[in-house]
Structure 1
Amino acid sequence: MQTTILYIGRDTEITIVMNRLLNARPEWKGICVCTDEEAVSICEEQKIDLVLLGNGIDQNCEEVLRAKLLSIKPNLKIIQHYGGGSGLLYGEIMGALG
């Protein structure tokens, strides 16, 4: 069964890289967006197992976004990911899902 991971970041280039990294593993399905509106819409329409918050999201936006996503899916796991190699990413995801 695939794990669906929603990545939200503000930097388009990093978002493209994250899309490649998340979708490189057959057990993961990565969906990567740059706006909160896209993220909320996807969360409403699809089964999401984990949300990664990327760089560029300020604290106020993060709080509002977390509240919106959790109002849609109260048990949704949301973690921060601000960079690092693919090994760090894998560890963060497996730790959150474990």
Structure 2
Amino acid sequence: MQTTILYIGRDTEITAVMNRLLNARPEWKGLCVCKNEEAISICKEQHIDLVLLGNGIDQESESELKNKLLALRPGLKIIQHYGGGSGLLYGEIMSAL
């Protein structure tokens, strides 16, 4: 069974890298977006196991985003990911799951 991971970040280049990293593992399905509206729409339409918040999201926007996502999916796991190698990413995701 695949784990669906939603990455939200503001930098399009980093978001593209995250998409590649998340989808490189057959056990993960990565969905990567730059806008809160896209994230909320995805969360309404699909089951999400984990949300990764990337860099560039200001505190107010992050708080609003968390509130909206948790209202849609109570208990949804949401963690910060600000970079690092793919090993760090794997460790963060496995710890959260």
Q: TM-score, normalised by structure 1?
A: 0.98
SS of residue in 2 equivalent to 1:48: coil
Residue 77 of structure 2 corresponds to which residue in structure 1? 77
Residue 10 of structure 2 corresponds to which residue in structure 1? 10
Unaligned runs of 5+ in 1: none
**In angstroms, what is the RMSD of aligned CA positions?**
0.3
Amino acid of the residue matched to residue 23 of structure 2? N
What is the distance in 1 between the residues matched to 2:47 and 2:70?
Answer: 13
Report the alpha carbon displacement of residue 69 of structure 1 after superposing the two structures with TM.
0.1
- The 5-angstrom pairing of residues 22-61 of structure 1 reads 22-61=22-61
Unaligned runs of 5+ in 2: none
Report the alpha carbon displacement of residue 43 of structure 1 after superposing the two structures with TM.
0.2
Amino acid of the residue matched to residue 84 of structure 2? G
Amino acid of the residue matched to residue 44 of structure 2? E
SS of residue in 2 equivalent to 1:10: coil
SS of residue in 2 equivalent to 1:75: coil
Report the alpha carbon displacement of residue 75 of structure 1 after superposing the two structures with TM.
1.1
Query: Where do 4+ consecutive residues of structure 1 move more than 6 Å?
Result: none
What is the distance in 1 between the residues matched to 2:65 and 2:48?
Answer: 15
Q: TM-score, normalised by structure 2?
A: 1.00
Q: Aligned residues, how many?
A: 97
Identity %, equivalent residues: 81
What is the distance in 1 between the residues matched to 2:74 and 2:47?
Answer: 13
Amino acid of the residue matched to residue 6 of structure 1? L
Deviations 1:8-54 (A, max 9, x none): 00000000000000000000000000000000000000000000000
